Amino acid sequence: MEPQFSFGVIADVQYADNDNCYNFSQTNMRYYRNALPSLRNAVDHWMKDKRNISFVVQLGDVIDGCNTKNGGKAESWRVLSLVMDELDQFPGPVHHLIGNHELYNFTRDELCESKLFSVVNGFMSTQNYNCAREDDSRKKFYYHFSPFEGYRFVIMDSYDVAMLGWGEDCSVTQQSREILTSVNFNKELNSPVGLKGNDRRFVEFNGAIGERQRQWLKEVLQSAENDNEKVMIFGHIPFYPHKKDQMCLLWDYELVLEILHKFSCVVATFAGHLHRTRYTLDANIHHICIPAVVETPPGSDAFGTIDVYANRIILNGHGSVESEEFIYRQNVLAQEVAVGSVATKKELADHSI
Ligand code: ZN
């Protein structure tokens, strides 16, 4: 049976003209130069795919933070242009998410002038695009669109409240530092040393959806629920704690999950950042984490093509992305959800992120 529509996903390309080296915890090799041909291979595949691949979601960290160390801002722009040249080969829209590595390379103002700011990608003039509210001077990277009748896709900004990207003088940076330092007592705030369980998420390379974006998300989900749409949500940082990986997690994940659980329209979330395949079924929501391109050795792949059907999605994995079928569980009423599976929201509420 033909899918209703299909789209591509790819995560953590992290391209840099840099020698291979191990990640911070010395467990995984990063193949920086191979990331570009690997991205090219994904785009080629989507273009030749017999199915019509309507669009691609790039889940963030498309270039690596080490570019600034290699050659300053000029190198960041050069490398971004190489990556975008590859993605520009794809004839449809590419939806970009903001990851921590974008914010190591660029300020938010600079990102707004780049091709990573979806508003300048051209396709935003279509009726399907609904820009985030314009009543705030802070630049927004979150928006929603309908790729097909009956579906709503939500692109989230995992760093709307974060230490990264806003600049030292910005109140968001100061607020974020207060959040972090109230939990993380390390001098190096990227270190989780001393933090236990899900508290390990309080590190500088993570961030929060934040209050204004959560309010916006609530409105989008309410509207989707009223219109009987199915919703898929995309963020760079995972939305749900995996028992094996508690560090790569939104600071305010509990408050975000509380919102998602109020609506039965949400069928899945997609994230990167973790660099591994991870999956959790939480109530009626499939939480899917896509592994990183940069940690895929030459000769292998790391991308997915998702077929969307009326009752399920099929992730067709390539290389390190595993293939899987996810059946919608909307028949599970939101009220019957085991809310107990979500930890107390007190901690984050106290920080009023
Ligand atoms: Zn990341």
In this structure, CATH architecture of domain 5-351: 4-Layer Sandwich (3.60)
Supply the pLDDT for residue 281: 92
Supply the pLDDT for residue 274: 92
Compute CA 124 distance to the chain's CA centroid, rounded to the nearest angstrom. 19
More confident position, 45 or 133 = 45
Vertex 311, ends 306 and 315: CA angle to 5°? Answer: 20
Q: What is the DSSP letter of 337?
A: S
Q: What is the pTM of this model?
A: 0.90
Indicate the pLDDT class of residue 126, thresholds 50, 70 and 90: very low
Compute CA 323 distance to the chain's CA centroid, rounded to the nearest angstrom. 19
CB 287 within 8 A of CB 268: yes
Q: Give the strand pairing for 266-271 and 278-282.
A: unpaired
Compute CA 163 distance to the chain's CA centroid, rounded to the nearest angstrom. 17
For ligand 1, the distance from its centroid to the CA atom of residue 58, given in whole angstroms, is 12
Supply the pLDDT for residue 243: 81
- Residues 172-211: pLDDT tens digits? 999 999 999 999 999 999 999 999 999 999 999 999 999 9
Supply the pLDDT for residue 318: 96
For ligand 1, the distance from its centroid to the CA atom of residue 100, given in whole angstroms, is 5
Q: What is the DSSP letter of 184?
A: -
User: What average pLDDT score do residues 71-77 get?
Assistant: 95
- Residues, the chain: 353
Gyration radius of the chain's alpha carbons: 19
Percent of the chain's residues with pLDDT above 70: 87
User: What average pLDDT score do residues 99-113 get?
Assistant: 92
Percent of the chain's residues with pLDDT above 90: 75
- Residues 322-332: pLDDT tens digits? 999 999 987 54
Cα separation of 334 and 337, whole Å?
5
Position 335 pLDDT exceeds 70: no
Position 342 pLDDT exceeds 80: no
Supply the pLDDT for residue 140: 79
Cα separation of 60 and 43, whole Å?
16
Strand partners, 144: 130, 154
For ligand 1, the distance from its centroid to the CA atom of residue 334, given in whole angstroms, is 31
More confident position, 25 or 269 = 269
Closest CA to 294 of 8, 94, 73, 99: 99
For ligand 1, the distance from its centroid to the CA atom of residue 206, given in whole angstroms, is 8
For ligand 1, the distance from its centroid to the CA atom of residue 272, given in whole angstroms, is 7
Helix axes 66-87, 35-48, angle to 10 degrees: 20
Supply the pLDDT for residue 244: 80
- Residues 261-282: pLDDT tens digits? 999 999 999 999 999 888 999 9
Cα separation of 128 and 126, whole Å?
5
Give the strand order in the sheet containing 143-145: 129-130, 143-145, 151-155, 230-234, 266-271, 285-289, 278-282
Supply the pLDDT for residue 247: 92
For ligand 1, the distance from its centroid to the CA atom of residue 236, given in whole angstroms, is 7
Cα separation of 222 and 46, whole Å?
33
Q: Give the strand pairing for 302-308 and 312-319.
A: antiparallel
